[in-house]
């Protein structure tokens, strides 16, 4: 288990994302319109599309390559497609806005 | 020259022989010392193209196949203008009328054939010629300058091509034919009649079932007399009744002759070391007069002479095409039904199309096509292969699959195999859709879309999906009003009018007020609402970048591996050495894996890492080419009057002006423009959303073209005189499109949906045009270059950079 400080909530636009590489995996951090920060592996199970580049709608992101829809809380691919992406635990310090992620 | 090489001599310098030599040189370049004799004073030329020379489609020098340099570079001793008059097959020597005498080890006779001249009284008069060689062509061209009336004897392939050429030279042409119908050796009566009518429309006159009796005139031909006593005036008489193999030389030398020089499957004559091929040769009783068999023979002979294995020549199935512009005729194999065969015919006199297939033992043995010959090659290869076509006859005849011919679309769907793909975008088969309806309980197209993705992308297969729903759900099928996406049942027009009526100003507001089922919409409706709001409230609405697709959010095209590509704007496709150097240096500096020219006359730097984008833009210091957006992409131009000898107007200048005028414009879909400097239309303006074609003293304006998914030629909008008017009309058209089309609807689809007349009507009053132009100007004035903006604003720029985490504990 590794915990790291990845930045501040203000680094991520609402309905936007930021990415970083950790060991060999790329992680995408999303900030929803309600301010919630979520993290998933930046790799669509379909053709490996970068989910960070997709459109955030509610709690879901649309993969930019072929419009697969993935729930950012659970990592589950939405019907009619199937699959799952890895999710990571994220904590946000309500006072400072620091974002911590556990791998 | 090495002396140990065998000596190869060829008599004849035409297409068949020289082709065999070319082939031989590839197989065994140093095997022979080669000598060629040619009676005509030219190097080898393409005789087939003589018709094109006459018809003005080619120049004499364009039809040379092997120029003199070719002979030199292959060390071939060429004697042109020399006729070989004698050969001694015992001493293995040939002698020419120019006094040349050459010994040979191997001898090829490729003497071709001579035009068959009818032995009519008066055939020796001036103005009576054949149609066989360059010289005949020259005489026709010269004669046409001072004489008017031409008569061609022979309504076959050659005669008709000669007649067409003479028409082109401005002469009045009558074609005399001995039979009731023309081209009877290649066509059946129906196709022949259609051909005759077509040629009559082009200006040819026909005298059918006429037996020529005598050529009248003093020194020069004046008229042609027929056996029935009638006559026709002629200043020029072309005999094109056929050819006969040129066998004189062989005959004198004790070589076996029938109609042509008799050869076996290896093109060998009865005399050792002597071969024959081409039109002078007769193989298994056939002397061919077409080009394809000659090539096949040449390949066999070349292999034989090179000592390479060959199965020999087994004869050719031939096909014919008539090289007359505007007329498509094709025939192959046995097109008149032999005993025991059956024929299928299709005749459409409205479009002038005729098709006939002759079938024997379930194999295609012959075909005749008139009007539309696009299937010719396919049918010909079936005839040659002897393929079994049982059950496919109607499909071949009509070009429609057999199940499509059944009574209804419903039957067609029923007959479709389960694994046949209905939705090409998402690879959804008929079986998957059937399953979604039968066991998945889908009762509407929307549900099928959600469940299988069929019709979820381009929507082209929606009618088929609807058909399958009817088929499998029957009365249970619910017709649900389809909205612009799954989040609403409202269509584009309803949404736009509600936004206007209630003055809704943000995406969120629209979704709330119009009761979207998904609170934040989806990847389809979000960009479209963003567009409609920006179009309706250009001065108030702030573009929501988070509602734009990836490409438009990051102002670059995302590639399959997550890298991006950069296309800087190059106005009108005109660049400079300095600019090119700069682009090249930046591409090197950032290790760009590929630099590619785009179809729109710009440069694409592919495979760029996202974090490098702003740095590259900064160094390029060029505006974005918007190669990623629903906006003006590029304005393609030809060279125009700046350099081109045909250019009637400054296409480049016009293109650059239009590109500067409309760059950065948001639109429902991508918008492509082009400007051509003359009607040759080298910029392909007639497949663009807005195309401009210069004519002498003006500009044609075209709309609604597309060269992509939905190929469509433009409609002519109008013709204007000045560049300012071009800009005025382009502005009005583009704004009218922006205000009325659905998001993601290209002009081609939109123009077809609303009808070109309604667009013309909306733009016909200058007042309306100026109002539209003013509105588009308002929008354009508010745009800025996105690349510069991102480079200069850290808040935007940060999104291109990865973040750097700090480990706290492991």
Sheet of B353-360: strand order equals B319-321, B329-333, B363-370, B353-360, B342-348
Closest by Cβ to B558, choosing from A4, A53, A57 = A53
Distance in angstroms (rounded) separating the CA atoms of residues B122 and B483 = 83
Residue with more model confidence, B472 or A15: A15
Q: Indicate whether B51 pLDDT > 80.
A: no
B714-723 pLDDT tens trace: 999 999 999 9
CA distance A23 to chain B (A): 12
Q: What is the pLDDT of residues B430-440, one digit of tens each?
A: 999 999 998 88
B733: phi then psi, degrees, rounded to nearest 5: -65, -50
- Please indicate whether residue B737 or residue B422 has the higher confidence score (pLDDT): B737
Q: Does the pLDDT value for residue B791 go beyond 80?
A: yes
Neighbouring CB atoms inside 10 A of A82's CB total 11
pLDDT at A98: 95
Mean pLDDT across chain B, nearest whole number?
Answer: 91
Q: How far does A87 lie from chain B, in Å, by closest CA?
A: 17
Contact B550 A64 (CB under 8 A): yes
Homologous superfamily (CATH) for A3-102: Rieske [2Fe-2S] iron-sulphur domain (2.102.10.10)
pLDDT at B157: 87
**pLDDT, mean of residues B318-340:** 81
Helices H / strands E in chain A, number of each = 0, 9
Report yes or no: B560 at the A interface, CB cutoff 8 Å.
Answer: yes
Distance (Å, whole) CA B422 – CA B460 = 10
CB spacing of B523 vs A67 below 8 angstroms:
yes
Cβ–Cβ < 8 Å for A50, A28: yes
Q: Give the closest-approach CA distance of A65 to chain B in angstroms.
A: 7
Region B128-241: CATH code: 3.50.50.60
Quote the CA–CA distance of B186 and B386 in Å, as a whole number.
Answer: 20
Does residue A47 have a pLDDT over 80? Answer: yes
B266's CB contacts (< 8 A; 6+ apart) are B275, B300, B301, B304, B310, B312, B313
Mean local confidence (pLDDT), B192-213: 93
pLDDT at B325: 64
Of A13, A57, A80, the CB nearest to B521: A57
Confidence band of B398 (pLDDT split at 50, 70, 90): confident
Residue B391 has pLDDT above 90, yes or no: no
DSSP B286: B
- Do domains B2-113+245-306 and B625-784 share one topology? The answer is no
Tokens of B491: 């269509």
Instruction: For residues B411 and B406, give the distance between their C-alpha atoms in angstroms, rounded to a whole number.
Output: 7
Percent of chain B with pLDDT over 90: 66
Average pLDDT (B515-519) is 89
Residues 6+ apart with CB under 8 A from A8: A96, A97, A98, A99
pLDDT at B213 over 90: yes
Interface check B522 vs A, CB under 8 A: yes
SS3 B134: helix
Q: Is the dihedral of CA B500, B501, B503, B506 positive or negative?
A: negative
Give domain limits for chain A.
3-102
Token pair of B88, please? 């001694």
Q: Is residue B438 a contact partner of residue B472, using CB atoms and an 8 Å limit?
A: yes
**If DSSP codes are grouped into helix, strand and coil, which group holds residue B409?**
helix
Fold of B625-784: Sulfite Reductase Hemoprotein; domain 1 (3.30.413)
For chain A, what is the radius of gyration of the CA atoms? Answer: 13
Q: Is residue B285 within 8 Å of residue B340, measured between CB atoms? A: no
B682 marked as binding residue: yes
Peptide bond into B478 cis (omega under 30): no
Q: How confident is the model at residue B400 (pLDDT cuts 50, 70, 90)?
A: low
Angle, CA B286 vertex, CA B284 and CA B289 arms, to 5°: 145
B808 and chain A in contact, CB less than 8 A:
yes
pLDDT band with cut points at 50, 70 and 90 for residue B233: very high
SS (H, E, C) B229-261: CCEEECCEEEECCCEEECCHHHHHCCCCECCCE
Measure CB to CB from residue A2 to each of B523, B799, B810 and give the nearest one.
B810
Residues of chain B found within 8 Å of residue A96, distances taken between Cβ atoms: none
d(CA B85, CA B124): 24
Condensed to tens digits (0 to 9), the pLDDT of residues B585-619 reads: 999 999 999 999 999 999 999 999 999 999 999 99
Q: How confident is the model at residue B456 (pLDDT cuts 50, 70, 90)?
A: confident
Per-residue pLDDT at B57:
67
**CA B703 to each of CA B221, B280, B535, B692, B700: distance values in angstroms, whole numbers, following the listed order:** 56, 57, 21, 9, 10
| B562 interfacial to chain A (CB closer than 8 Å) | yes
Query: Where do the structural domains in chain B lie, given as residue ranges?
Result: 2-113+245-306, 128-241, 492-548, 625-784
Q: Are the CB atoms for B166 and B238 separated by under 8 Å?
A: yes
pLDDT at B631: 97
Distance of alpha carbon B457 from the chain centroid: 29
* Main-chain phi, psi angles of B118, to 5 degrees: -60, 135
The full 3-state SS of B437-461, as one line of letters, equals: HHCCCCCCHHHHHHHHCCCCCCCCC
Distance CA B746, CA B2 (A): 69
Q: Do A58 and B549 touch (CB under 8 A)?
A: no
Of B310 and B325, the one with more pLDDT: B310
Closest partner CB to B549 (pick from A48, A50, A55) = A55
| pLDDT classification of B779: cutoffs 50, 70, 90 | very high
- pLDDT band at B527; cut points 50, 70, 90: very high
Check if the beta carbon of residue B505 is closer than 8 Å to that of residue B534.
Answer: no
Q: Residue B137, annotated ligand binder?
A: no
CA dihedral B387, B388, B394, B400 (to 10 degrees): -60
A61 neighbors A53 (Cβ within 8 angstroms): no
Contacts of B518 in chain A (CB under 8 A): 57-58
Question: Quick one: which of B567, B704, B551 has its CA closest to B629?
Answer: B551
Q: What is the pLDDT of residues B654-676, one digit of tens each?
A: 999 999 999 999 999 999 999 99
B2-113+245-306 fold: FAD/NAD(P)-binding domain (3.50.50)
Instruction: Give the H/E segment covering residue B751.
Output: helix B747-754
Lowest-pLDDT choice from B315-329, B679-693, B776-790, B793-807: B315-329
Q: B27 pLDDT exceeds 70?
A: yes
- Tell me the mean pLDDT in the region B234-257: 94
pLDDT in tens, B124-147: 999 999 998 888 998 999 999 999
Tell me the H-state helices in B226-362.
248-252, 291-306
Is residue B182 within 8 Å of residue B155, measured between CB atoms?
yes
Q: In this complex, do A33 and B803 lie within 8 Å of one another by their Cβ atoms?
A: no
CB B416 within 8 A of CB B430: yes
* Shortest alpha-carbon distance between residue B444 and chain A (Å): 15
B520 interfaces chain A, CB cutoff of 8 Å? yes
Which tokens go with B578? 């300095």
Residue B555 at interface with chain A, using a CB cutoff of 8 Å: no
Cβ–Cβ contacts within 10 Å for residue B726, how many? 24
And the tokens for B2?
């090495």
Which residues, in sequence order, are CB contacts of B137 under 8 Å at separation 6+? Answer: B50, B53, B54, B60, B131, B165
DSSP lists the bridge partners of residue B596 as B604
Cβ-count burial of B768 within 10 angstroms (0-12 exposed, 13-18 middle, 19+ buried)? middle
Q: How many CB atoms lie within 10 A of CB B708?
A: 11
Q: Is the pLDDT of residue B402 over 70?
A: no
Is residue B113 within a helix (H) or strand (E), and if so which, with residue range?
strand B113-115
- B142: tokens are 């010269």
The CB density around residue B350, as the number of other CB atoms within 10 Å, is 5
- Residue pair A13/A31 in contact by the 8 Å Cβ criterion: yes
Query: Which tens digit of pLDDT belongs to each residue from B341-382?
Result: 899 999 888 888 999 999 999 999 999 999 888 778 778 878
Strand pairing report for A60-62 and B128-130: unpaired
Contact B134, B42 (CB under 8 A): yes
3-class state of residue B376 by DSSP:
helix
Query: Secondary structure of B654-701 in the HEC alphabet?
Result: HHHHHHHHHCCCECCCCEEEEEECCCCCCCCHHHCCEEEEEECCEEEE
Cβ contacts (< 8 Å) between B519 and chain A: which residues?
Answer: 58
Q: Using alpha carbons, select from B342, B419, B301 the residue that is nearest to residue B20.
A: B301
Contacts of A33 in chain B (CB under 8 A): 520
Complete DSSP assignment for B564-629: EEE-B--GGG---HHHHHHHHHHHHHTT-SEEEE-TTSSEEEEEE-GGGHHHHHHHH---B--TTS
Do A57 and B526 make contact, defined as CB atoms within 8 angstroms? Answer: yes
Question: Which of B450, B523, B810 lies closest to A62 in CB terms?
Answer: B523
Q: What is the pLDDT of residue B271?
A: 95
The structure tokens listed for B279 are 């039109």
**Which residues are within 8 A (CB) of B349 and not within 5 positions of it... i.e. 6 or more apart?**
B194
Angstroms from B547 CA to nearest CA on chain A: 7
Measured between CB atoms, which of A2, A67, A80 is closest to B451?
A80
- Please give the pLDDT value at position B428: 85
* pLDDT top residue among B289 and A98: A98
Which A residues in the span 32-71 are in contact with B, Cβ-Cβ below 8 Å? 33, 47-50, 53-58, 62, 64-65, 67, 69
């Amino acid at each position: 288990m590794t915990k790291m400080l990845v930045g501040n909530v203000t680094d991520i636009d609402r309905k936007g994302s930021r990415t970083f590489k950790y060991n060999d995996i790329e992680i995408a951090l999303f900030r929803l319109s309600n301010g919630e920060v979520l993290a998933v592996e930046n790799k669509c199970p379909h053709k490996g599309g970068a989910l960070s580049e997709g459109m955030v709608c509610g709690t879901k992101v649309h993969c930019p390559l072929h419009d697969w829809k993935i729930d950012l809380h659970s990592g589950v691919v939405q019907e009619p497609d199937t699959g799952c992406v890895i999710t990571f635990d994220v904590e946000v310090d309500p006072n400072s806005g620091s974002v911590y992620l556990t791998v | 020259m090495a002396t140990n090489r065998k000596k190869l001599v060829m008599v004849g310098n035409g297409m068949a022989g020289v082709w065999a030599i070319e082939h031989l040189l590839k197989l065994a370049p140093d095997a022979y010392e080669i000598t060629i004799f040619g009676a005509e004073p030219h190097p080898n030329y393409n005789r087939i193209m003589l018709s094109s020379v006459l018809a003005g489609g080619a120049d004499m020098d364009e039809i040379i196949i092997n120029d003199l340099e070719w002979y030199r570079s292959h060390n071939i001793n060429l004697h042109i203008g020399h006729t070989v008059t004698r050969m001694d097959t015992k001493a293995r020597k040939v002698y020419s009328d120019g006094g040349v005498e050459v010994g040979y080890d191997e001898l090829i006779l490729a003497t071709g054939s001579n035009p068959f001249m009818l032995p009519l009284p008066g055939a020796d008069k001036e103005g009576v010629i054949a149609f066989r060689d360059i010289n005949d062509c020259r005489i026709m061209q010269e004669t046409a300058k001072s004489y008017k009336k031409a008569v061609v004897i022979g309504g076959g392939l050659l005669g008709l091509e000669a007649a067409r050429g003479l028409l082109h030279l401005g002469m009045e042409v009558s074609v005399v034919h001995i039979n009731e119908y023309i081209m009877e050796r290649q066509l059946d009566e129906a196709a022949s009649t259609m051909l005759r009518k077509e040629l009559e429309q082009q200006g040819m006159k026909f005298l059918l079932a006429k037996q020529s009796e005598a050529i009248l005139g003093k020194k020069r031909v004046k008229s042609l007399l027929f056996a029935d006593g009638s006559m026709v005036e002629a200043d020029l008489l072309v005999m094109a009744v056929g050819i006969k193999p040129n066998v004189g030389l062989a005959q004198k030398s004790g070589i076996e002759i029938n109609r042509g020089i008799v050869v076996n499957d290896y093109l060998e004559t009865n005399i050792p070391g002597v071969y024959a091929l081409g039109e002078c040769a007769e193989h298994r009783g056939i002397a061919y007069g077409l080009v394809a068999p000659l090539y096949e023979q040449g390949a066999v002979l070349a292999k034989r002479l090179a000592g390479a294995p060959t199965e020999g020549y087994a004869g050719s199935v031939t096909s014919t095409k008539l090289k007359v512009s505007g007329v498509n005729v094709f025939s192959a194999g046995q097109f008149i039904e032999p005993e025991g065969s059956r024929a299928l015919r299709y005749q459409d006199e409205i479009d002038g199309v005729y098709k006939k297939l002759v079938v024997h033992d379930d194999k295609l043995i012959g075909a005749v096509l008139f009007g539309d010959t696009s299937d010719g090659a396919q049918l010909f290869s079936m005839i040659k292969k002897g393929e079994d076509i049982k059950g496919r006859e109607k499909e071949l005849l009509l070009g429609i699959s057999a199940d499509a011919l059944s009574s209804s679309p419903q039957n067609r769907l029923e007959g479709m195999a389960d694994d046949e793909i209905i939705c090409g975008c998402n690879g959804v088969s008929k079986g998957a859709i059937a399953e979604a309806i039968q066991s998945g309980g889908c009762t509407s197209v929307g549900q099928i879309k959600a469940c299988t993705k069929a019709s979820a992308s381009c929507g082209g297969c929606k009618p088929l999906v609807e058909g399958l729903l009817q088929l499998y759900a029957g009365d249970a099928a619910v017709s649900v009003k389809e909205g612009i996406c799954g989040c609403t049942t409202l269509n584009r027009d309803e949404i736009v009018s509600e936004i206007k009526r209630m003055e809704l100003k943000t995406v969120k507001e629209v979704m709330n007020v119009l009761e979207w089922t998904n609170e934040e919409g989806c990847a389809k409706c979000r960009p479209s609402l963003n567009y409609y709001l920006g179009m309706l409230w250009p001065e108030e609405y702030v573009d929501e970048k988070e509602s734009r697709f990836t490409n438009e959010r990051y102002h670059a095209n995302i590639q399959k591996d997550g890298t991006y590509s950069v296309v800087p704007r190059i106005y009108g496709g005109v660049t400079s050495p300095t600019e090119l150097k700069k682009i090249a240096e930046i591409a090197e500096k950032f290790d760009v894996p590929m630099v590619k020219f785009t179809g729109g006359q710009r440069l694409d730097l592919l495979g760029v890492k996202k974090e490098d984008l702003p740095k590259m833009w900064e160094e390029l210091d060029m505006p974005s080419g918007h190669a990623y957006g629903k906006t003006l992409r590029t304005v393609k131009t030809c060279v125009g009057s700046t350099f081109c000898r045909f250019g009637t107007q400054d296409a480049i200048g016009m293109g650059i002006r239009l590109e500067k005028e409309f760059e950065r414009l948001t639109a429902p879909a991508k918008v492509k423009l082009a400007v051509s400097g003359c009607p040759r239309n080298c910029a392909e303006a007639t497949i663009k959303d807005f195309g401009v074609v210069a004519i002498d003293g003006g500009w044609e304006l075209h709309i609604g073209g597309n060269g992509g998914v939905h190929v469509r030629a433009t409609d002519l909008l109008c013709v204007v005189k000045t560049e300012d008017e071009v800009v005025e009309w382009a502005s009005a058209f583009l704004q009218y499109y922006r205000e009325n089309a659905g998001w993601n609807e290209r002009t081609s689809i939109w123009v077809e949906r609303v009808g070109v007349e309604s667009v013309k009507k909306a733009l016909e009053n200058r007042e309306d045009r100026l109002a539209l132009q003013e509105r588009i100007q308002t929008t354009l004035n508010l745009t800025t270059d996105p690349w510069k903006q991102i480079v200069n604003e850290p808040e935007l720029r940060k999104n291109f950079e990865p973040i750097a985490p700090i480990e706290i504990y492991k």
